[in-house]
Amino acid sequence: MSNLFAEGNKLILRQGDSVLWLTAHGNGLRVRQTRLAQMPPADWAFEDIPAESAEPYIKIEDGTAVISNGGIEARINAEGWISFYNKKGELLLEEFYRNRNNLLRYCVPFGINARELKPITGTSDYKLTARFEAKPGECIWGMGQYQDGLLNKKGAVLELAHRNAQASIPFYISSRGYGFLWNNPAVGTAAFAENITEWKAFCTDKLDYWVTAGDTPRDILRSYMNVTGKPPMMPEYGLGYWQSKLRYRSQEELLNVAREHKRRGLPMDVIVVDFFHWPLQGDWKFDASLWPNPEEMVKELKEMGIELMVSIWPTVDHRSENYGKMASKGLLLKFDRGENVNMTWMGNTVFYDATHPEARSFVWDTAKKNYFDMGIKIFWLDEAEPEGIYDFDLYRYYLGPALKVTGIYPNMYAKGFYDGMKAEGMENPLNLVRCGWAGIQKYGALLWSGDIYSSFRSLREQVAAGLSIAMAGVAWWASDIGGFIGGDPENPDFVELLIRWFQFGCFSPVMRMHGERYPIKRVGPEYIDGVRQFGTGRDNEVWSFGEDGYEIMKKYILMREKLRPYVRGLMENAHTTGDPAIRPLIYEFPQDKNCEEISDEYMFGADLLVAPVLELGARKREVYLPCGEVWTNAATGEKYSGGTVVNTDAPLDVIPLFLRGGAKLPL
CA distance 584 to 286: 42
The DSSP output letter for 97 is -
List 73, 198, 385, 461, catalytic entry: 385
**Considering only CA atoms, which of 383, 440, 379, 431 is closest in space to residue 408?**
440
Cβ count within 10 A of residue 606: 15
Please confirm, yes or no, whether 451 is among the known catalytic residues: yes
List 205, 307, 382, 496, catalytic entry: 382
CA distance 420 to 416: 6
**Considering only CA atoms, which of 165, 275, 261 is closest in space to residue 520?**
275
Angle (deg, nearest 10), helices 251-263 and 294-303: 10
Q: Cβ contacts of residue 521 below 8 Å, gap of 6+?
A: 535, 536, 537, 538
List 95, 269, 451, 592, catalytic entry: 451
Contact between 255 and 290 (Cβ < 8 Å)? no
The DSSP output letter for 363 is H
CA distance 160 to 184: 10
How many residues appear in the chain? 667
Please confirm, yes or no, whether 219 is among the known catalytic residues: no
Q: What are the CA-CA distances from residue 207 to residues 77, 183, 199, 210, 282 (Å)?
A: 19, 8, 10, 10, 37
CA distance 228 to 46: 5
Please confirm, yes or no, whether 61 is among the known catalytic residues: no
CA distance 364 to 616: 44
Q: What are the CA-CA distances from residue 649 to residues 290, 481, 613, 633 (Å)?
A: 48, 23, 10, 10
Q: What are the CA-CA distances from residue 210 to residues 7, 30, 139, 157, 409 (Å)?
A: 19, 4, 18, 20, 21
Helix or strand or coil: residue 559?
A: helix
DSSP 135-199: -TT--EEEEEE-TT--SB-TT-EEEES-BTTBEEEEEEEETTTEEEEE---SSEEEEE-SS-EEE
Contact between 394 and 402 (Cβ < 8 Å)? yes
User: Which H or E run contains 60?
Assistant: strand 57-61
User: Which H or E run contains 358?
Assistant: helix 357-370
Give the residue numbers marked as catalytic. Answer: 382, 385, 451
